[in-house]
A and B are shown apart, each in its own frame.
Chain A
Amino acid sequence: MGLNEQQIERYSRQIILEEVGGTGQEKLLCSKVLIVGAGGLGAPAGLYLAAAGVGTIGIVDSDKVDLSNLQRQIIHHTGDVGTEKVDSAKAKIQAINPDVTVQTYQSRLTAENISEIIRQYDFVIDGTDNFASKFLINDACYFEKKAFSHAGILRFDGQLITVLPGETTCYRCIFRSPPPAGVVPSCSEAGVLGVLAGVIGLLQATEAMKYLLGIGELLTNTLLVYNALEMEFYKAKLDRNPDCPLCGSSPTITELKDEQQPVCDLKED
């Protein structure tokens, strides 16, 4: 395709990197990244990937912008409260970089629609805030053999892992199935430090860029755990689990299904 003069100037600071160069930049412009959730993680990831010149960015979200989102979901501004998140995110991305084509999906991902959507992308960023979606994304990416970045944040902690389905440790290798409802606190119950979403969301974006450019070491077979208070990054090395219900040697999950909310059978205390 070739870069025009404007593009050479716009992306000069990353074209100058030996590992990127004009070829890498062209690769990025031809790449497609799907961001699931235009929230705390998806907002910084979307902004930076747009600025970097990732040619097509898909955004999935069914929610509207709420005042309480603005503390961390920096793609949405005060004037956007009440509008659709996908529309708000698309407007900001296009304002940053008109090179980027934005596809919006104002819906929730389900076992019905997810495969068709992710099939069109090179890399998926899981920026969702709920376990049903996280397991669904893991499973769908496995069946579609789509690389993705999983992440979660809560209070002052965050964690992420990159998954090359069928080749490296998946989310179900670590956690077989979602926790019962109400057992793990949510950000709305337990809170989250706003900058944490930025730190973890941008680590996801970094993994996406490395994957698209084919450079560096991906965060595979490794769960990176971050604590903001101790300012500690910790890498837990994790082998693939032969007993994984999805990618193990005798899988019990052989087709895509929406997770049914398990009954909470734990004692209250």
Chain B
Amino acid sequence: MNIVVNGEQVNCDDDLTVSKLLIEQKVKMPEMVSVEINGKILKRTEFEQTLLKDDDKVEFLYFMGGGRWA
């Protein structure tokens, strides 16, 4: 199936979960990424069981703040 990850077409297996996609896409520090599918923010606890569907639009969103803590 085909999905769109951050605007780019990605061809992937049919039984792909969000957790697996994070690994496949080599996302550094997946604990720090917010994931959104078709406009909806996913709970972190849903990464394991959420299966991606054909044509899903997935966004990986990263913290960007200058990064100093305080």
Contact = CB atoms under 8 A, between A and B. Distances in A.
A261 B61 contact: no
B41 interface: yes
A179 B32 CA distance: 7
A179 B67 CA distance: 9
Nearest to B67: A186
A243 B7 CA distance: 25
B8 to A, nearest CB: 10
Interface string A151-186: 011100111000000000000011100110111111
Contacts of A186: 66-68
Nearest to A232: B7
Contacts of A40: 66
Q: Sort chain A's interface into a size bin.
A: 35 or more
Contact of B67 (A158, A175, A187): A187
A183 B32 contact: yes
B29 A187 contact: no
Most chain B beta-carbon neighbours within 10 Å: one of A173, A184, A185? A184
Interface string B41-70: 101000000000000000101011111111
A111 to B, nearest CB: 13
B3 to A, nearest CB: 14
B34 interface: yes
B66 A153 contact: yes
Nearest to A192: B66
B31 interface: yes
A241 B39 CA distance: 9
Contact of A152 (B6, B36, B64): B64
A184 B70 contact: no
A153 B34 CA distance: 17
A133 B61 CA distance: 19
Interface of B: 6-7, 29, 31-32, 34, 36, 39-41, 43, 59, 61, 63-70
